[in-house]
Amino acid sequence: MGEQVDGLPDRGGEAVRWLLERLRGNRIHRSVRIGHGTRIGRWCIIEENVEIGPDCYIGNYVHIRPMVHIGAKSELRDHVFLAGEIQIGSDVKIFQFANISKGSIIHNRVYIGAGSILTNTRRISHGRQYEPKLSAPVVEYGARLAVGVRILPGVKIGEQSLIGAGTVVTKDTEPFGIYLGVPAHRISSVPIEEIY
């Protein structure tokens, strides 16, 4: 973070952008770097040290916590929440109300359906005398999560796998597999014509 990234303007340009965005109801930290051609809706909060690459689309009411990096041509639709320290590749689409836990890694060309949730702690400490162990999911290249998918901590979603609507994924998925159910089980393979 903090290094020059292709397609991001220098910090002088960002100061002007910061002012304009504030007039539109957005709260964008001064340290945030936004690439050329990236559009941002209204009522968004973008916290410190976030980098958004060029030609991205950020919808309305999106909240991005600190230290998130988003590659070029990615889209975050309305009400997406990114919990911080997340790496998102290029050409990624994340749909309405998705909630991505801190530390997640999302590779290029991933699709995350509306209302999907990625989690990063197996136990919920909620005032108990222990530190929760953080282990965020990884979603590999070209994987697709349908609507309302839940990914448990530390799970890796294999390259180009397809996870059906409402699935709860408790273990790593194999590349190119189609998974369904609670807990997820493999039902078939992604057809060749659907492979990028």
Ligand X SMILES: CC(C)(COP(=O)(O)OP(=O)(O)OC[C@H]1O[C@@H](n2cnc3c(N)ncnc32)[C@H](O)[C@@H]1OP(=O)(O)O)[C@@H](O)C(=O)NCCC(=O)NCCS
Site for ligand X in 74-133 (CB under 6 A): 113
Residues 6+ away with beta carbon under 8 Å from 48: 29, 31, 32, 66, 67
Q: Which of 1, 45, 147, 168 binds ligand X (CB under 6 A)?
A: 147
- The DSSP code sequence of 66-105 is SS-EE-TT-EE-TT-EE-SS-EE-SS-EE-TT-EE-TT-E
For position 181 contacting ligand X by CB under 6 A, the verdict is yes
Q: Which region among 8-16, 32-40, 86-94, 174-182 touches ligand X (by CB under 6 A)?
A: 174-182
Shortest distance, position 148 Cβ to ligand X, whole Å: 8
Shortest distance, position 118 Cβ to ligand X, whole Å: 16
Site for ligand X in 39-58 (CB under 6 A): none
Size of the site for ligand X (CB under 6 A): 10
Q: How far apart are CA 105 and CA 15, in angstroms?
A: 29
Which run of H or of E encompasses 157?
strand 156-157
Q: Which residues bind ligand X (CB under 6 A)?
A: 113, 146-147, 162, 164-166, 178, 180-181
